[in-house]
Amino acid sequence: RSYSIAVIPGDGIGKEVMPEGMRVLEKAASIFGFEIEQKWHDFACCDYYARHGKMMPDNWKEEIGRPDAIFFGAVGWPDTVPDHVSLWGSLLQFRREYDQYVNLRPVRLMPGVPCPLAGREPGDIDFWVVRENTEGEYSSVGGIMFPNTDREVVIQETVMTRIGVDRVLRYAFDLAQKRERKHLTSATKSNGIAITMPYWDQRVEAIGAEYPDVSHDKYHIDILTAQFVLNPDRFDVVVGSNLFGDILSDLGPACTGTIGVAPSGNINPEGIHPSLFEPVHGSAPDIAGQGIANPVGQIWSAAMMLEHLGEAEAAAAIMRAVEQVLATPSARTRDLKGAASTDACGKAIAEALG
Amino acid sequence: RSYSIAVIPGDGIGKEVMPEGMRVLEKAASIFGFEIEQKWHDFACCDYYARHGKMMPDNWKEEIGRPDAIFFGAVGWPDTVPDHVSLWGSLLQFRREYDQYVNLRPVRLMPGVPCPLAGREPGDIDFWVVRENTEGEYSSVGGIMFPNTDREVVIQETVMTRIGVDRVLRYAFDLAQKRERKHLTSATKSNGIAITMPYWDQRVEAIGAEYPDVSHDKYHIDILTAQFVLNPDRFDVVVGSNLFGDILSDLGPACTGTIGVAPSGNINPEGIHPSLFEPVHGSAPDIAGQGIANPVGQIWSAAMMLEHLGEAEAAAAIMRAVEQVLATPSARTRDLKGAASTDACGKAIAEALG
Ligand SMILES: CC(C)[C@H](C(=O)O)[C@@H](O)C(=O)O
Ligand SMILES: CC(C)[C@H](C(=O)O)[C@@H](O)C(=O)O
């Protein structure tokens, strides 16, 4: 078995954690008997953009080719490139152009990661956030009327489609069906956002009817964020629109203390286009260049990528190695009250792998 | 001094906590020497709507008249009236028609209220959320194309205006200026929501320039919700759009354990229209009718209302009475691990008042 991987480390700490992700990936390949063909790309603010004034060449799809997956670090360098330019020029473009309509993130209490919630232990919290990843509130449709006057009116359209909503709901219900509790929670705001959100609720009912063995409920997003803090053990699979999923998939890892180590998959479930795997954290300009970034998010993303590629055994082995290292104070990075450097932590995980 | 108050208890526990709010209000009036003229209205799902099929009469503005303030319980009874109907027919209509463009909520760790965050003590967390309350994401502009087909497209427009954004930002900067830390945090999502949110950021910069003595920063809403959990002591005044403010002003009280007791003001700062004060909690059909609802949110809202009416001393006295009762296990309601009924808790607060 051989997998072609497009590697895009990006900016800031993306460049520091990516080598550790690759280290562990290659080690897993040698142990489990598959091959990784890698092609690196410098699509980042501080590389390609600095030279060409755009995030990627116009023929970026050709450059990337048809890899089995994309392994992504973090993009963004607000001092030189505004965030909406860098993100719409790379990450958000991949999500749309490769129709990665599912954004998938685990919310899991891990050993060795201090939990900001009182009285919670590893095992207590373990759910997935499924986020619609291509449409909804993240649209570029709209504009400004009477610009630069007191009458200025700014409009942005949220656009949901039957196709877009139904397919991500089916993915979420499928996932819930495979789990023990078989429960799905939908994020809504149909009491305030009076057109798209009642529609979302309707489609949840319609698709839910196809899954009689999966129970489901819904919460308005405001009280749902409160429930993440108050009763995080209540959730199994949580599904939300692009914006609501974005919020919940940062808040969830924050509630488990894992925001610095959480991974994510941007998935095209049909496999027509490559899926993209990236840590939840960003490029973190404030700590970039110091060799102190935590590589676990990148490495956990490698595990998600392998799972997606069908290498479930290797993925599980990486997760065991990650848990073992997180439970070892001396192998942890500074954010987890250890003193290990980025590469020392990465090496420890590669070693623990076997 | 005499104040005319329109009293709208609403549905469910709204009806149970409102008498306690009025009890404490009247006690404060007798102690501090002012008068309350009250006019009650039955604008609720289970009252007016049940008889007339709408939340309020067409001439509701005449019925309400020109009170000095509106004291509101909670509206909603989803078994008989869909939430978007009941809310757009009352609460959300008041906010717009009375131009209550500021929604103001405290986030404060209170004695006797268990905090879900680890290691936080009363005093550690104390900030305000200022929410834009009339425009933005809560619009009814939009519609459905190709309904009931696979091609269905649903569009909802977020509408921001220069007038609407600037005035709530000024309110928030004014508030920050009066506080010790003089710091304002703006909630944004300009890296994903590419038209309205960069505009919001721009206006924060423009208005911020008028307040050289107030420092300000911004966070994207996803990471801001995470920061509420991880570093709630960092905030002083947080300002957000209608949706972001809605989320943050539920999440904030959840992080301090006060979601069942937090108050809110829907404020027309110029006083051209009446302002409305209500607890953060809803009508809670699941516990309605049992006499166990916590009246503190309604009573704390009375304190906010008095502060707004210029009775700062009475407001402060109510808050001292609330804190004293919250610190007394036997006077607390069941949600706070006490056994007091709604009216026993209300009476205890009225007594503590003097
Ligand atoms: C009930 C609902 C429409 C309302 C809102 O979203 O504004 C509520 O959540 C609030 O915050 O007052
Ligand atoms: C960087 C930003 C545009 C992005 C998003 O909002 O999608 C990020 O927050 C994420 O969740 O991947």
A84/B246 CB distance under 8 A: no
User: Is B251 in contact with A222 (Cβ distance < 8 A)?
Assistant: yes
Measured from the Cα of B192, ligand 2's closest atom is: 3
The residues in A 277-306 lying below 8 A from B, measured between CB atoms, are none
Put simply, whether B241 touches A (Cβ < 8 Å) is: no
Question: Which residue type occupies A193?
Answer: I
CA distance B95 to B237: 21
**What distances in angstroms separate CA B284 from CA A74, B156, B256, one per listed residue?**
43, 29, 20
Place of tokens 């309707």: A202
The edge-to-edge listing of strands for the beta sheet with A142-145 is A142-145, A153-161, B153-161, B142-145
Hey, CA dihedral for A315, A318, A177, A276, is it positive or negative?
A: negative
**Ligand 2, atom 8, residue with closest C-alpha:** A246
A217 in reach of chain B (CB within 8 A): no
Q: What is the pLDDT of residue B154?
A: 98
Residue B343: the pLDDT is: 97
Say how far apart CA A155 and CA B154 lie, in whole Å.
16
Looking at every residue in chain A, the average pLDDT score rounds to 96
* Whether residue B192 has its Cβ less than 6 Å from ligand 2: yes
Q: Does position A304 have pLDDT exceeding 90, yes or no?
A: yes
Question: Sign (positive/negative) of CA torsion A56, A59, A60, A63?
Answer: negative
Domains with residue ranges and CATH for chain B: 1-100+262-354 (3.40.718.10), 126-255 (3.40.718.10)
Query: What is the phi/psi pair of residue B308, to 5°?
Result: -65, -35
Contact check, Cβ <8 Å, B155/A151: no
Contacts of B187 (CB under 8 A, 6+ apart): B218, B219, B220, B221, B224, B238, B239, B240, B241, B244, B245, B248
Q: Which residue has the tokens 């490559």?
A: A274
CA atoms of A269 and B222, how far apart (whole Å): 25
Q: How far apart are CA A342 and CA A331, in angstroms?
A: 10
Task: Tell me, using a 6 A CB cutoff, whether residue A22 lines ligand 2.
Answer: no
Whole-angstrom distance between the N-terminal and C-terminal Cα of chain A? 20
- The residue contributing the CA closest to ligand 1 atom 11 is B246
Picking from A154, A247, A249, the nearest residue to B195 by CB comes out as A154
Relative to the alpha carbon of A94, which ligand is closest?
2
Instruction: Give which of B69, B126, B91, B133 is closest to B311, Cα–Cα.
Output: B69
The answer to whether B147 faces chain A, any CB pair under 8 Å, is: no
Q: Which ligand 1 atom sits nearest the alpha carbon of residue A220?
A: 9
Between A83, A247, A251, which is nearest B190 by CB? Answer: A83
| pLDDT confidence of residue B83 | 84
Q: How far apart are CA B204 and CA B173, in angstroms?
A: 10
Which one-letter DSSP state was computed for residue B48?
I
Q: Which residues of B10-46 are buried (b: 16+ CB within 10 A; e: fewer)?
A: bbbbbbbbbbbbbbbbebbbeebebebeeeebebbbb
Residue of B nearest to A81 (CA): B191
Q: How far apart are CA B137 and CA A106, in angstroms?
A: 28
Distance B192 CA to ligand 2 centre (A): 7
Task: Collect contacts of B79-84 with beta carbons under 8 A, ≥24 apart.
Answer: B79/B285, B80/B45, B80/B46, B80/B49, B80/B50, B81/B45, B81/B49, B81/B55, B82/A198, B83/A190, B83/A191, B84/A190, B84/A191, B84/A192, B84/A194, B84/A198
Give the per-residue pLDDT at B84. Answer: 81
Q: Exposure of B52 by Cβ count < 10 A (0-12 exposed, 13-18 middle, 19+ buried)?
A: exposed
* Structure confidence at residue A146 as a pLDDT band (50, 70, 90): very high
Alpha-carbon distance values, B14 to A183, B7, B202, B280 (Å): 31, 11, 40, 11
Question: Chain A to chain B, count of Cβ pairs less than 8 Å apart?
Answer: 200
The whole-number average pLDDT for the span A1-9 is 98
A11 lines ligand 2 (CB under 6 A): no
Q: How far apart are CA B350 and CA B321, in angstroms?
A: 8
Q: Which two tokens stand for residue A144?
A: 């400004």
Cα A219 to its chain centre, rounded Å, is 22
Q: Of A89, A136, A104, A94, which Cα lies nearest the Cα of A273? A: A94
Q: Could you give the CA distance from residue B134 to residue B138 in angstroms, rounded to a whole number?
A: 7
Which residues in chain B touch residue A198, judged by CB atoms under 8 angstroms apart?
82, 84
Mean pLDDT of A276-289: 96
DSSP β-bridge partners for residue A130: A104, A239
Over residues A133-138, mean pLDDT = 96
Per-residue model confidence (pLDDT) at position A268: 98
- Judging contacts by C-beta atoms under 8 Å, the chain A residues touching residue B159 are 153-155
Residue B6 contacts residue B94 (beta carbons within 8 Å): no
At B69 the pLDDT is: 98
Residues 6+ apart with CB under 8 A from B147: none
User: Could you tell me if A159 and B195 are in contact, meaning their C-beta atoms sit under 8 angstroms apart?
Assistant: no
Cα B246 to ligand 1 centroid, rounded to whole Å: 7
CB within 8 Å of chain B, chain A residues 309-328: none
Joined together, the tokens standing for residue A266 give 């941007």
Cβ of A87 closer than 6 Å to ligand 2, yes or no, is: yes
Per-residue pLDDT of chain B (354 residues; tens, 9 = 90+): 999 999 999 999 999 999 999 999 999 999 999 999 999 999 999 999 999 999 999 999 999 999 999 999 999 999 999 888 999 899 999 999 999 999 999 999 999 999 999 999 998 999 999 999 999 999 889 999 999 999 999 999 999 999 999 999 999 999 999 999 999 999 999 988 989 999 999 999 999 999 999 999 999 999 999 999 999 999 999 999 999 999 999 999 999 999 999 999 999 999 999 999 999 999 999 999 999 999 999 999 999 999 999 999 999 999 999 999 999 999 999 999 999 999 999 999 999 998
Is A251 in Cβ contact with B225 (below 8 Å)?
yes
Residues of A in contact with B226 (CB under 8 A): 250-251, 253-254, 259
Is the per-residue pLDDT at A140 higher than 90? no
Express each pLDDT in A10-37 by its tens digit.
999 999 999 999 999 999 999 999 999 9
**Structure-token match 């009352």, residue found:** B90
Cβ neighbours for B41, distance < 8 A, ≥ 6 positions apart: B6, B7, B8, B63, B64
Q: What is the pLDDT of residues A224-257, one digit of tens each?
A: 999 999 999 999 999 999 999 999 999 999 999 9
Q: Which residues of B touch A159 (CB under 8 A)?
A: 153-155
Cα gap B16→B241, rounded to integer Å = 32
Q: Does A253 contact B at CB distance below 8 Å?
A: yes
- pLDDT beyond 90 at A84: no
pLDDT of residue B105: 98
A324-332: long-range contacts, CB 8 A cutoff, minimum separation 24: A324/A352, A325/A296, A325/A349, A325/A352, A326/A110, A326/A111, A326/A112, A326/A113, A326/A261, A326/A296, A327/A111, A327/A112, A328/A112, A329/A112, A332/A112, A332/A294
Distance CA(B140)–CA(A195), nearest Å, equals 7
Beta carbons of A160 and B153 less than 8 Å apart: yes
Alpha carbon distance A206, A91 (integer Å): 31
- For the stretch B55-106, pLDDT in tens is 999 999 999 999 999 999 999 999 999 888 999 899 999 999 999 999 999 9
Contact A228, A251 (CB under 8 A): yes
CA A76, CA A189: separation in Å to the nearest integer? 30
From B133, B134, B6, select the one nearest B66 (Cα to Cα). B6
Nearest CA to ligand 1 atom 10: B246
pLDDT value for A354: 87
User: Which residues 160-199 in chain A show a CB within 8 A of chain B?
Assistant: 160-163, 189-196, 198-199
User: pLDDT tens digits for B210-232?
Assistant: 999 999 999 999 999 999 999 99
Stretch (H or E) spanning B216: strand B215-220
Nearest beta carbon to residue B162 from set A151, A246, A251: A151
Secondary structure tally for chain A: helices H, strands E: 12, 12
pLDDT of residue A66: 97
Q: Give me the residues paired with residue B7 across strands.
A: B40, B71
